[in-house]
Structure 1
Amino acid sequence: MNVKLPEIKLPEFSGDTKNWQSFFEEFKAAVDEQPIPDKRKMQYLKSALRNEALEIVEPYPLEAGNYKLVLDLLKNRFGDKITIRSSLHSELRKLPRANQFVPEIRKTLRKIEAIINQLKLMGENTEHQQLVLEVESKMPKKILTEIFKRKRTDPLWEQLCTRSKKSKSTHVNSVLSLIGKINVRNIKLKRRE
């Protein structure tokens, strides 16, 4: 039985280092690893690039011999793990403190979790107090008060920390889990309707 799958739209990349790995993995699967000529791969690559990334490859003509060269240029410029980690840490630092509205707190938590998960995927050690403090600094004061209260009195906090050590999860994940378990209705946060 032959099933026709829908056409996959190529990802786009504009030069944001934190998006490089995702772009490259998708591009590699959709184009780079396919049995097509390098000249065609070069066309696909150029069509997927925007802004700074496109400016880097624009001087190179659409020739088969340029494909691997251009791909290496992009990997060296945007795929440097130290630069990507630095960009992720910067993004976390620049993230504003969530306001007292529940949807914004959840949105901030999702952003923090995405950054932490990307750092872990890159081999970053997220098991340090500095990162926990950074995460906590993004929460509104009422949530922070509840976090500190729970850390002092809630046996669940000790269970989370113990479980995170056993499962090689992170202390940061324990904090995120604790924040997620706080019953926001009980601490009188505002809801936007």
Structure 2
Amino acid sequence: PTGLLPQIKITQFNGDPKEWSTFISSFRDMIHNVVPSDAQRHAFLKHLLTTEVRSYIAEYLENPSTYYDALVELKKRYGQPQVVARSPLMALINLPSVRDDDSEALAKLNRTLHGIMHALRTGGYKRDLESGMTLEHVVSRLPSRM
């Protein structure tokens, strides 16, 4: 039938604060505002969280009456602006070092660094991005021949 819409799938939320706003807006639009009961919403929410995220809010996932409490806890943990901003800073700190002969790792470092730079710039952390310590840290991850 040509009149059917494609099936839309919400990706499980894995606890990455950068993904929170995308996840929660999809959940709100496709589940929360559409599904008629809190018990059903609760079941969907539980299903759409990874095991690790579920473990953080386990006390709110046992009973459908705690659906709204679960949403509040998730927002507190993953949806605060400072948590979202901290995510690219942590990614920057955790950049792997690249060996001299590993061009693939260097290309990956480049892609990762571009993503981090974009996130810091758009998140209002331009000063952190331009600090001498940041530059020193990034340079320390480059191959020694560079």
Larger radius of gyration: 1
TM superposition shift of 1:48: 1.2
| 2:50 counterpart residue number | 50
- 1:81 alignment partner AA: P
Closer/same/farther in 2, CA of residues 141 and 29 from structure 1, 3 Å limit? farther
TM superposition shift of 1:121: 3.5
Q: Secondary structure at the match of 1:8?
A: coil
- 1:123 alignment partner AA: G
TM superposition shift of 1:18: 4.5
TM superposition shift of 1:24: 2.8
Cα deviations by residue, 1:5-44 (Å, 9 ceiling, x for unpaired)? 1x23332224344443443344334323x42223322111
| 1:129 counterpart residue number | 131
| 1:150 counterpart residue number | none
TM superposition shift of 1:95: 1.1
**Structure 1 position 4 matched with structure 2 position 13:** no
**Quick one: distance in 2 between partners of 1:25 and 1:134?**
35
> Is the 1:11–1:26 contact (alpha carbons within 8 Å) kept by the matching residues of 2?
no
Of structures 1 and 2, the one scoring higher in RCO (CA 8 A, sep 6+) is 2
**Quick one: distance in 2 between partners of 1:94 and 1:84?**
16
TM superposition shift of 1:116: 2.1
| 1:108 counterpart residue number | 109
**Quick one: distance in 2 between partners of 1:51 and 1:3?**
33
**Structure 1 position 95 matched with structure 2 position 103:** no
Q: Which consecutive unaligned segments of at least 5 residues does structure 2 have? A: none
| 1:35 counterpart residue number | 34
| 1:117 counterpart residue number | 118
> Is the 1:97–1:138 contact (alpha carbons within 8 Å) kept by the matching residues of 2?
yes
TM superposition shift of 1:75: 0.3
- 2:8 alignment partner AA: I
Closer/same/farther in 2, CA of residues 133 and 22 from structure 1, 3 Å limit? farther
Alignment of 1:142-181 (within 5 A): 142-143=145-146
Cα deviations by residue, 1:35-76 (Å, 9 ceiling, x for unpaired)? 22233221111111123421244333443x532221111101
**Quick one: distance in 1 between partners of 2:12 and 2:49?**
6
Q: Which consecutive unaligned segments of at least 5 residues does structure 1 have? A: 144-193
Tell me the TM-score normalised to structure 2 length: 0.74
Identical-pair percentage: 24
**Quick one: distance in 2 between partners of 1:113 and 1:21?**
21
Tell me the TM-score normalised to structure 1 length: 0.59
